[in-house]
Amino acid sequence: MTILLTGGAGFIGSNVAKQLLLENHRVICLDNLDDYYNPDTKWKNVQRTLSDPGYHFHEGDIRDAELVDTLFQTYGFDAVIHLAARAGVRPSVQNPALYFDVNVNGTMTLLQAMQRWNVHKMVFASSSSVYGDSPNVPFDESDTADRPLSPYAASKRAAELVCHTFHHLYGFDIFCLRFFTVFGPYQRPEMAISQFTDSLLNDTAIQVFGDGSTARDYTYVDDIVRGIILSLENLNGYEVLNIGGSDPISLADLIQLIEQAVGQNAQINRLPMQPGDVQQTYANIRKAQQLIGYQPSVRVEEGIRRFVEWYRASQEAGLVTN
C-alpha cells in the first residue's frame, strides 16, 4: 500500500513509519516540523527512516490544500494515517483558535482531498481527552463524550464528527482511535515521564500538579503502533476505538516507578492542578479486542524500565534535545 502519513516526524508517527516500512508499505510523510517542541528532535526522527527507498518526506502543513492535492496526485495513495495535530491539553487553553484551525480545519483539508482523489480509507488519531471527567469508568466508546475540558479535547471530538460526516456522505472507511497517554522511547520532551526522568537523572526537582492522586492509562508506544496497523488492516465503515493499556496508574505511583528505574529519589515541587486536566483516564478496550484483535503487551512497569534505559543511553550519547 502507498500511505500518506501525516505527523510522521513526531513521536508516534516516526514509530508508525518504521513499522509500515518493515511491512513493505510505501510511506509518504507530511509534517510541518512545528516548534511545539524542538524541531531538531523531529528531524532526528525523520532521519531514522530517510534512507529507506520506500520512505518519502515532505515538509508542509496539512492545512495547505494545494500541497495536499499535489501529494495525492503524485503518489496515488491507498490510505491515509492522520496523526498530525497541535498537541497538548494545557497549551490549548492559551491558544484555542490555533488548535481548532490545525486539528479540525487540517482534518477537513485531508478529507476533502480524499474525496477529490477517490481515496476512501483513513485511520485518524483521536484522544482519550474527549471523555473529559466522565463518571463512567472504564471509558467506553458508547459514552457521549460531549463534555471536553480543554480546547484540545474539543478539537479532537469535533474532528471525529467531521470524519463521520465524510463516512456518511462518501462511504469512507474511517477508524477514529482514542489514544490513552502514549509513552516510550523518542516521546515528546514536555511529557511528564520525559521531564521526571530528566530531572531525576540531573538531580533537579520535578514539578507535580496536584496531590499525586490523578491517574492515567499509560500506553506503550509499541502497543499504539500495533493498534494503528491493525486498524489499517481491518478498516470497514466508521468506528471509534479506544487504544490504551487498560491499566491506569496514579501519578504518585508513576513517580515511584521512575525513581526505581533511575535509582534515585525525586525532589518534588507541588503545584496546583492545571485547567483542562482530568482526574483519571481508563480505557475499556473490549471493542478494539473484538474488532481488530488489539491487545496491549507492555505493562507500564516494563515500559518505564525500557524508557529510562533508552533515555539514559541517549543522554550519555548527547542525543536528547529538550
Q: Omega into 91 within 30° of 0, i.e. cis?
A: no
d(CA 239, CA 167): 10
Q: Do 113 and 69 touch, CB atoms closer than 8 A?
A: yes
Q: Tell me how crowded residue 59 is: count the other CB atoms within 10 A of its CB.
A: 15
User: What does the block give as the cell for 24?
Assistant: 513493505
Give bridge partners of residue 271 from the DSSP assignment: 209
For cell 513526531, the residue is 10
Q: Tell me how crowded residue 242 is: count the other CB atoms within 10 A of its CB.
A: 29
Residue 263's identity, in one-letter code, is G
d(CA 47, CA 17): 11
Q: Determine the straight-line distance between the first and last CA of the chain, rounded to whole angstroms.
A: 35
DSSP state of 263: T
d(CA 156, CA 154): 5
Taking the C-alpha atoms of 189, 206, 244 and 242 in order, what is their torsion angle to the nearest 10 degrees? -80
**Residues designated catalytic:** 152
Q: Do 218 and 183 touch, CB atoms closer than 8 A?
A: yes
